[in-house]
Structure 1
Amino acid sequence: MTQKVLPSNPLVAVSDNGAPITSDGGNVLLSMFLNSPVVSRLFNNVEFNVNRKNPRYAKVELFLQMLIQVIEHRLVYVQNMISQPTISRFLSHLTNEDIDELQELNRRIVFLIDERSANTELVLDLDSTYFETFGHQEKIGFNYHYLNVGYHPLIMTDALTGTVHQVSLRSGNTYTGNGATEFVQGYLSTSLSAQHQTIILRGDLDVR
């Protein structure tokens, strides 16, 4: 039987004796994964813009807990979970430089996935999706197809692994294929792994 102490909470230990675990066990494993040396090093290298006075939590801590809440909604931590107002303030203080850092973090994560994959063929799916918004959000627009206001982002995913490789946030009134050429060219020029001998791009976007 092996036993490990939870990095985020030394009062919690995980043992593997072959017995079934409860549904909360996934939260513990997620915490251990995010606190593993390789993964934590990725997040700690994100250089968020420092634009707050005397913050209680670093931006990377806020981002991690927000990510965990989205995935599992709750996690075993010694300290109290960060409140929703604090998370909202974190989101409102994100700058364009911070978003670029998160894009770079995603590229590094994708690269790690590629390194551990034996796939020499890369199949990229390019498509747009739509998100309705409420309230006064930045750069939203009315979409005549969905007949509401929101965002119309462009997304590139790996069809073989489901990994999201790149996202471009766009106003809701942006036509589905606008900017697709530059989006793809920018990705292909900076983010490809040398192991991919064959690259297939799939998409059904109209460009105007």
Structure 2
Amino acid sequence: MSIVNTLSLESNRQIKINFDGGDLSSDAGLLLIKEFVSKPGIDNLLGKVFKTNDSALFRYHTDQKNLLQMIYMIIAGYFEDDTSDELTNDPVFKSVLEKDTLASQPTVSRFFNRMDEDTLNQLLMIGRILRKRVYRIQMPQAVILDLDSTLLDAYGKQEGRAFNFHYQSNGYHPLVCYNGMTGDLVKIQLRDETEYSSTGVVDFLQPILDEYLNDYPAIRILLRGDSGFATPDLYKQCEENGT
């Protein structure tokens, strides 16, 4: 039995049949995500505001593209950075990132290792800028800041990993703040698993209150949290900030 590598139809020589498979992808939905990212200018914003502590004069895989690659990968369900090696020639990922190839796993790991406290502050600033763009379209009358803590499972011997009796699990216990009206994440801060729910909440919350009081003085600020956040210091902070 002969194997057909390429077959041209006699009725139309422009049509060819083969078994190469072509450039296939199961992640075509990312093209719509790309459209959403471009509308408020998130991709351009990352290029202007986001920069790791990098001494290299030139990189083909820039910080902006590396961050966008990880965002698209997570949205598509690829949570491990080593999956970037499998996606390096995926046509949809190359299209949304506007690159010939994706950054490899070692490149992504080096990218993560360059992140520091300044990088995290840049990400918080990006969130603040995006909130301004959204509020220009429609300014809310009130915002509900939902305080909470959650479990991030960790495996191995990562720094700060510990056992939490409440969750009966090893990992981290970060502080989180969501916009209770929209579900958007406003801020998150990593802590080790032994920290109590409200530990460090006053310092965590103050920059958020400063942003809303300075940028949107007309918005009424409401704070919501469970009993783990019922502390005198937090009550005092709310009173001092009109919250």
Counting only pairs closer than 5 Å after superposition, residues 101-116 of structure 1 correspond to structure 2 as 101-116=122-137
Give the alignment partner of residue 150 of structure 2, picking from 113, 129, 132: 129
Counting only pairs closer than 5 Å after superposition, residues 118-157 of structure 1 correspond to structure 2 as 118-157=139-178
Residue identity (%)? 29
**Structure 1 residues 24, 164: CA separation in 2 closer, same or farther (over 3 Å shift)?**
same
Task: Pick the structure with more helix per residue.
Answer: 2
Give, in whole Å, the separation in 1 of the partners of 2:115 and 2:105: 16
Give the alignment partner of residue 222 of structure 2, picking from 193, 200, 206: 200
Aligned residue number for residue 27 of structure 1 = 30
Counting only pairs closer than 5 Å after superposition, residues 1-208 of structure 1 correspond to structure 2 as 24-36=27-39, 38-53=41-56, 55-72=59-76, 73=78, 75-77=93-95, 78-192=99-213, 193-194=215-216, 196-206=218-228
Corresponding residue SS for 2:147? strand
TM-score (norm 2): 0.67
**Structure 1 residues 63, 205: CA separation in 2 closer, same or farther (over 3 Å shift)?**
farther
Name the amino acid aligned to 1:27: L
- Deviation of 1:191 (Å): 4.1
Higher relative contact order (CA 8 A, sep 6+): 1
Q: What residue ranges of structure 2 are gaps of 5+ in the alignment?
A: 1-25, 79-91, 232-243
Give, in whole Å, the separation in 1 of the partners of 2:133 and 2:226: 29
Give, in whole Å, the separation in 2 of the partners of 1:136 and 1:191: 39
Greater than 4 Å deviation, 4+ residue runs: none
TM-score (norm 1): 0.77
**Alpha-carbon contact 2:148-2:226 (below 8 Å) kept:** yes
**Alpha-carbon contact 1:110-1:163 (below 8 Å) kept:** no
Q: What residue ranges of structure 1 are gaps of 5+ in the alignment?
A: 1-22
Give, in whole Å, the separation in 2 of the partners of 1:56 and 1:137: 30
Give, in whole Å, the separation in 2 of the partners of 1:122 and 1:188: 11
Name the amino acid aligned to 1:28: L
